Structure formats: structure tokens, C-alpha cells
Structure 1
Amino acid sequence: MNETIGNQRVRVILVEDDFDLRQGLTDFLRLNGFSVTPVANGAEFSLSVTTDVFDVAIVDINLPDTNGYEITRSLAERTHMGVIIVTARTLRDDKIRGYAEGANLYLTKPVDGDELVFAIKNLSDRIKRVTTTEQLPNQSHSKWRVDCASQRLISPEGTEIRLSGREAKLILCLAEASGRIVSRADLSRAMGYRELSPETRSLDAVVRRLRSKAREAGLELPIHVVHAAGFQFSVGIEVS
């Protein structure tokens, strides 16, 4: 069996700190046609999602440096990635929290391999249909545009958002990254902040104000916060 979305193999990231289980699931899923990236903790997960794109995440809850709920919430808020929690926690409250944080499925260990294969396949197929449908109306006008001279951000539909100086620097830095994730430190430097300590929330305040402006204009700003990695403008944007 070779599981694909369109002409591409389904891409799975597996977050599991138990070495034997991680290796066993990785081998089994690869034998069933999936492309699998195994990671042992939240830090490795964050690094992987900054350099690769995945269709489905399989997430354990008990991790050494974070917990699967946080990863699930971040993915549900920022991406179209499907999330399957696989955990030893069987209590009803744990399951409810998993679904509340945005998991598509909650499976308990020991997980049945065939059940997991079909869960990944069905979930990835459904997500592909949803994202394709969402993209169809805007295929010919899908890019945002930032006008540097007038300091305006212009949506694909032509709605304009006036930018402050720092907001313009933020958008320009993200636009020049061409969809790549920009670290908090790099963004802070680009915006002229000298204080880069974790306690500094000036960058977050600028992003919040910008989101508020966009919502007042009836728009949802496609700036995503990637856990422990940075910020990303997740759709096409041109600079003029």
C-alpha cells in the first residue's frame, strides 16, 4: 500500500519519546506507504516543522520538554495539519481535553497498527478536500501585497490596512522570508528593538495591534505564531 495525497505520499510527523515505540511505529507506517519523520520531543518537533511540511501529526501527551496538548493546540490554531493523539492516558478528562485542544482523533496505547493506518489515511484525505475547497475561490488573486511607499497592507480582495512604522517593518521582514518562519530575535532586530530578552513583549503587542486592525477591516491576518520557532506569513505576499 502506498498512501498518497494527489501524487504525493502522505507526510507524517511522529512525536514520541519512547525510543522502541517510536521506532516500531515509524517502521510500520513506512511499510504502509507513509513518509514518516520521527522526533522525540517538542524541540525536535519545532525544528522539523520549520523546515518541512506535514499532513498529519501523531502526538504523545507525556513529553520531556513540553506536553502534547500544547503541540496540538498550536497546530490546530496555526495549520491545517491533522492531529492524532496517541497516549497511555485513558481517563475521560484527558480525552476531552485532547479534543478541546484541537485533536482530530484520540487513540490510547497500545494502539492497533491497522487502525492507525486507516485513521491517518482518512484524516489526510478529508483535510486535503477541505483545503482544496478553501483555496479554489482565490486561486487567481491569492496574494497579499505590502506597499512600502504608502505603508499599506492590501488583501487579495483589495482591502487596505494602514501600517505604523514598526508594523510595516514587521510585514516587510515576513514578506522577504517568502513563507519561511522568522525567529522572534530576527523580527525584533528588523523592527529596531534592542531588548531581546524573553520578557520583552513589544513584538507581541505589535502583532496584536495589527491583528486587531485586520479584524476591524473584516480580515483574518495570515500571520502564524509557530511554537518555539517564530512567526510566519503563511500565504503569498508581494512587496511593491
Structure 2
Amino acid sequence: MMMADAVAGPKGAAQEISRDFKIILVEDDHDLRQSLADYLRLRNMHVTEAPSGIAFYKALLQERYDIAVLDVNLPDVSGFELARDMAARREMGIILLTARTGRDDRVRGYAEGADLYLTKPVDTEELALAILNLGRRMRRGPVEAESGRWAGAIEAPEGAAWRLNRHTQTLRSPDTRSVKLSVREVILLEHLAARPDETVSRDLIMGLFGHARIDPESRRFDAFLARLRS
């Protein structure tokens, strides 16, 4: 009886701690995503499922998450790109979950900002414990945002100016926070800033990026705009 209590104690404590963790799981394989999400929910974690990069960015506009579990091979944007974007904000822990097992991929994953790089097929218990441990460390880090929305969604005072630095590829918000931009984002923002009262079409934007047609990269384009809006 005493042995049973000794085993149950730490597990129960871990379950209590995990109740507050909010996880966003980005995986385009429906069955795998649902299976992993169901298991993590059994471990008392709050899990939001996203099948694509677009869905990921949309979710970030509505909620703040402690951990992002990202597949690398998504249909619209690479998980490496998502990891790099999130690492620049330092808002959440990042776990890359992928079938890519090569050394170069692992090195790239960590270089892009991943805290952990796990390969498929992943042991669900290992994933749950990795999330739990990483989440604990994150909770000891930055103070959570006051609102329930993602802390990266910056609310600018009316009439305040955002400043674009083309040389450093950064956008500075009215409250002096700096957001790192990609080359494409700099090109688009520079174009919009020069034409504040014009409506810009999707075709025109694709033309800025050197694409005559929108179809080949339409989903990647949508993910790009979703990130920029956030």
C-alpha cells in the first residue's frame, strides 16, 4: 500500500501541473494528429489542433499557448519556418515532430529555434513528458500576457506609427517591440507603406515576389499573409 502511494503521488502532481498547459499541435495527417491530441488530453492538457500553417497563425490570434508541437512537412509552410518565427518572439516552447531523421535536419531544427526535435513514430508518453518538462521551464520564463490572446498580437494605439527598417529587416511597434521580418514581408510592407490608400490585389503581391500566377504557391501565400496579419 505504501509503495502504491509513493508511485501515485508524483504522477498525480504531474497531472495537476499539466492541467494549465495549452498546447497547439500542428500536423496535417488527420489520424496522427487526432491520436496524439487525444492522448495529451487524457494527460489533462488543453490541446488545439491545426492541420496547416494557416490554421496555426489563425489560432495564435485567438489564444496564447505554452507549447507548439510542429510537423515539418506541412502543406503550406515548412515547420522550420514556423519554428523560426516563434523562436524570434520567445513566446512559447517549440517541439519539432517529424519523420526527418537525418543529422542535417536535426541541426537545422535546433538552429531555427526548436527546443526539442523528436522523430516519428514518437512514443506518446515520451512526447507528453517532453511537453510537461518544457512547459515547466517556460512557466519560469516570461510573464504571461494579461489577456487571453497571443502575446505576439500587438495592439497599437490609434494614430501611433509602426517603423520599418529595410536594412535590419525589422518592424518596430509603437510600444518599441521589434519583430523580425522575412525578405518577402519587407517587400510587401514597403509597397503598402508607399500606397496607404490603395487596395492591393493578390495577383499584384505575387508579382512583387516574381510569380506570374498565384496557383503554384497559393497556400504558402495564405500562410505568409496570416503570419503578417498576426
Give how far 1:227 is off.
6.5
Give how far 1:230 is off.
3.3
Q: Does 2:74 align with 1:70?
A: no
Equivalent residue runs for 1:73-88 within 5 Å: 73-88=84-99
Asked if the contact 1:46–1:227 (Cα under 8 Å) also holds between the matched residues in 2, the reply is: no
Q: Structure 2: how far apart are the matches of 1:28 and 1:38? A: 13
Equivalent residue runs for 1:71-110 within 5 Å: 71-110=82-121
> Where in structure 2 are there 5+ consecutive unaligned residues?
1-11, 145-155, 164-172, 176-187, 206-223
Task: Specify the alignment match of 1:17 in structure 2.
Answer: 28
Match of 1:4 among 9, 13, 17: 17
> Where in structure 1 are there 5+ consecutive unaligned residues?
134-144, 154-160, 162-169, 173-183, 201-225, 233-240
User: Quick check: which one's strand share is greater?
Assistant: 1
Q: Structure 1: how far apart are the matches of 2:121 and 2:25? A: 15
Match of 2:138 among 127, 133, 141: 127
Q: Structure 1: how far apart are the matches of 2:227 and 2:106? A: 27
Match of 2:64 among 26, 46, 53: 53
**3-state secondary structure, aligned to 2:140:** helix
Task: Specify the alignment match of 1:166 in structure 2.
Answer: none
Task: Specify the alignment match of 2:183 in structure 1.
Answer: none
Q: Structure 2: how far apart are the matches of 1:147 and 1:47? A: 23
Task: Specify the alignment match of 1:34 in structure 2.
Answer: 45
Asked if the contact 1:28–1:113 (Cα under 8 Å) also holds between the matched residues in 2, the reply is: yes
Asked if the contact 1:3–1:121 (Cα under 8 Å) also holds between the matched residues in 2, the reply is: no
Q: Structure 1: how far apart are the matches of 2:161 and 2:121? A: 53
Q: Deviations over 1:72-123 (max 9, x none)?
A: 0110012421000010000000000000000000000111111111111111
Moved over 6 A (4+): 145-148
The 3 A distance-change label for structure 1 pair 54 and 19 is same
Q: Structure 1: how far apart are the matches of 2:37 and 2:74? A: 17
Task: Specify the alignment match of 1:230 in structure 2.
Answer: 228
Give how far 1:130 is off.
1.6
Asked if the contact 2:161–2:174 (Cα under 8 Å) also holds between the matched residues in 1, the reply is: no
Give how far 1:26 is off.
0.5
CA RMSD of aligned residues (A): 3.5
Give how far 1:229 is off.
3.7
Give how far 1:228 is off.
2.2
Relative to the length of structure 1, the TM-score reads 0.59
- Give the percent of matched residue pairs that are identical in Structure 1 and Structure 2: 41
Relative to the length of structure 2, the TM-score reads 0.61
Residue 194 of structure 1 aligns with an amino acid whose one-letter code is E
Q: Structure 2: how far apart are the matches of 1:31 and 1:147? A: 44
Give how far 1:193 is off.
3.5
Asked if the contact 1:3–1:32 (Cα under 8 Å) also holds between the matched residues in 2, the reply is: no
Q: Structure 2: how far apart are the matches of 1:125 and 1:86? A: 19
The 3 A distance-change label for structure 1 pair 131 and 75 is same
**3-state secondary structure, aligned to 1:111:** coil
Task: Specify the alignment match of 2:218 in structure 1.
Answer: none
Residue 111 of structure 1 aligns with an amino acid whose one-letter code is V
The 3 A distance-change label for structure 1 pair 230 and 124 is same
